[in-house]
Amino acid sequence: MKIEELRIQDISPEVRNGCQELNLSDSVLRQCMEKLRAQIDLGLNPSTREQASVKCYNTYVQDLPTGKEKGQFLALDLGGTNFRVLLITLNGRHFDMQSKIYVVPKEIMLGAGEVLFDHIASCLESFALQHRVAKKNLPLGFTFSFPLNQVGLKSGILTRWTKGFNCANTVGEDVVQMLAKALAKRDSIKIDVVAILNDTTGTLMSCAWKNHNCKVGVILGTGSNACYVEKIKNVIGFDGDTSKPHVIINTEWGAFGDHGELDFIRTPYDKEIDKHSVNPGKQLHEKMISGMYLGELARLLIIKFTKDKVLFGGQINPKLQERWSFLTEYISDIESDPRGVFKQCRNVLGKLNILDPTDQDCSNIRYICESVSRRAAYLASAGVATLINKMDIPSVTVGVDGSLYRFHPHFHNLMHEKIPELCNSSIENLCINLMLSEDGSGRGAALIAASGSENNPE
Q: Which residues are catalytic?
A: 84, 145, 199
In terms of DSSP bridges, do strands 70-78 and 138-144 run parallel, antiparallel, or are they unpaired?
parallel
How far, rounded to the nearest angstrom, does the alpha carbon of residue 444 sit from its chain's CA centroid? Answer: 15
Instruction: Region of 163 please: left (phi>0), alpha (psi -120 to 50) or beta.
Output: left
∠ Cα 276 279 280 (to 5°): 60
Neighbouring-strand partners of residue 317: none
What length does the chain have?
458
How far is 190 from 139, CA to CA, in rounded Å?
9
Answer whether 265's CB lies under 8 Å from 35's CB: no
How far is 198 from 408, CA to CA, in rounded Å?
23
Q: Please give the backbone phi and psi of residue 91, each rounded to the nearest 5 degrees, phi first.
A: -150, 85
How far is 150 from 171, CA to CA, in rounded Å?
13
Alpha-carbon Rg for the chain, nearest whole angstrom, is 23
Query: Following DSSP, what letter does each residue of 164-230 receive, concatenated?
Result: T---BT-TTSBHHHHHHHHHHT-TT--EEEEEEE-HHHHHHHHHHHH-TTEEEEEEESSSEEEEEEE
| SS3 assignment, position 407 | helix
**Of residues 210, 209, 175, the one with CA closest to residue 193:** 175
How far, rounded to the nearest angstrom, does the alpha carbon of residue 408 sit from its chain's CA centroid? Answer: 14
How far is 57 from 228, CA to CA, in rounded Å?
11
Answer whether 287's CB lies under 8 Å from 277's CB: yes
All residues at 6 or more sequence positions from 226 whose CB lies less than 8 Å from its CB, including other chains: 200, 216, 217, 218, 219, 251, 253, 383, 384, 387
Give, in order, the Cα–Cα distances in Å from 408 to each of 4, 266, 414.
21, 23, 11
How far is 365 from 305, CA to CA, in rounded Å?
10
Count how many Cα atoms sit within 13 Å of the Cα of residue 380 in the half-sphere of its side chain: 36
Answer whether 257's CB lies under 8 Å from 68's CB: no
